Amino acid sequence: MKALMKMDYGPGHVEVREIEKPAVTQQDWVLIKVRAAGICGTDVHVWQDKFMFWPPVTLGHEFSGEVVEVGDKCKKFKPGDRVVAEPQINACGICEFCRSGRTHLCMEKWTLGWRTNGSMCEYVTLPEMFLHKMPEGLSFELAALCEPVAVAVYDVAEHGKININDFVVVQGSGPIGILAAYMAKRLGARSVLLTGISASEYCRFDVAKKLGADYIVNVQKENLLDKVMELTEGRGADCVIETSGAPSSIALCTDMLKKNGRLIGMGIPADKMVQFPWKDAVLKSLEIYFSMSTSYTAWDKALCLLQADSDKLQNLITWTGVLDDWERVFNSLVAEKDVKAVFMFE
Ligand SMILES: [Zn+2]
Ligand SMILES: [Zn+2]
């Protein structure tokens, strides 16, 4: 089968390879025929050598597909089921995190797409316990967005505790930033302000508006802090969601927040150390949350949103195509000429 793989350490080394189709080797695992696979920022970063990976490895962790084979001990799923899956394997099942339903935090789990073979290929095999059934009528293309939507549910709904009438700032206009803005608005925020750079003007800002952003600030043209203070009559934002990972954006979060405001850290900075006004954050009694990956509970909520808001969320997908066109679309994502791109499989 065809797979888009990262073959070696360093920038580049990504190519479409012909590899053996995986088989169900464990009784509680299933084989899924991939029908759609989304491209995440992390896939692009693996290509650029800006994110961790264990080569050779098939890229991709966002996908939807059809179950084609199940192990003898599978209980819930059968061939023909249309599914999405939490992109992980090897969770130990007995640690504190696994026992409390947080397998995504298990020290032994491997994530698809960088630690173990991912979804940008024709077939994927993984444990049945990570599968979720797609609602009737939801397309494979849109269902491939379930993972990033689950990220937004987990961070913005479950951690962010967005409330009615909140003023929310989202920093960054990538798919996760736009989904965070959508989520905040969906949860009742009064206004959502989303930031980006001049390159984001090409298409990302328009998509963000369609998904619910009320205000857009190009930080290369406008003073963000002044704008937030103007719109909140000097009080500051109730919540800042940082999805860009840019040091200059991270440094600004504290100043934009009201006292006891909430900061949600989602973006991953390139470097280990980033300057942050810790003292001001203490004096302002800020609530700060970080998270990586998704909770089990976020997935069915994400599927519910994908079905209920399918017309709106469809705007996020600006490109669909085949695996062989990967290089063109990876470059276009880097240049911000696309928002979300999805590989489709027959
Ligand atoms: Zn992702
Ligand atoms: Zn565990």
My answer on whether 128 and 179 are in the same domain is no
My answer on whether 11 and 122 are in the same domain is yes
Task: State the pLDDT confidence band at 346, using cuts at 50, 70 and 90.
Answer: confident
Ligand nearest the Cα of residue 105 is 2
Task: State in Å: Cα 58 to ligand 2 middle.
Answer: 24
My answer on whether 250 and 125 are in the same domain is no
Task: State in Å: Cα 129 to ligand 2 middle.
Answer: 14
My answer on whether 177 and 137 are in the same domain is no
My answer on whether 37 and 97 are in the same domain is yes
Say what the pLDDT of residue 59 is: 98
Ligand nearest the Cα of residue 93 is 2
My answer on whether 190 and 260 are in the same domain is yes
My answer on whether 128 and 178 are in the same domain is no
14-60: pLDDT as tens digits: 999 999 999 999 999 999 999 999 999 999 999 999 999 999 999 99
Q: Find how far residue 175's CA is from the centre of its chain.
A: 7
My answer on whether 256 and 332 are in the same domain is no
135 in a structural domain: yes
80 in a structural domain: yes
Task: State the pLDDT confidence band at 293, using cuts at 50, 70 and 90.
Answer: confident
82-94: pLDDT as tens digits: 999 999 999 999 9
Q: What is the tally of structural domains in the chain?
A: 2
CB 320, CB 342: distance < 8 Å: yes
Say what the pLDDT of residue 254 is: 98
Residue-number span of the structural domain to which 260 is assigned: 151-290
Calpha distance 319→18 (Å, rounded): 24
CATH code of the domain covering residue 225? 3.40.50.720
310 in a structural domain: no
My answer on whether 175 and 68 are in the same domain is no
On the 0-12 / 13-18 / 19+ scale of CB atoms within 10 A, 5 is buried
My answer on whether 260 and 320 are in the same domain is no
234-278: pLDDT as tens digits: 999 999 999 999 999 999 999 999 999 999 999 999 899 999 999
My answer on whether 55 and 172 are in the same domain is no
Ligand nearest the Cα of residue 340 is 1
Calpha distance 132→312 (Å, rounded): 22
My answer on whether 97 and 117 are in the same domain is yes
How wide is the angle at C-alpha 286 spanned by C-alphas 284 and 288, nearest 5°? 155
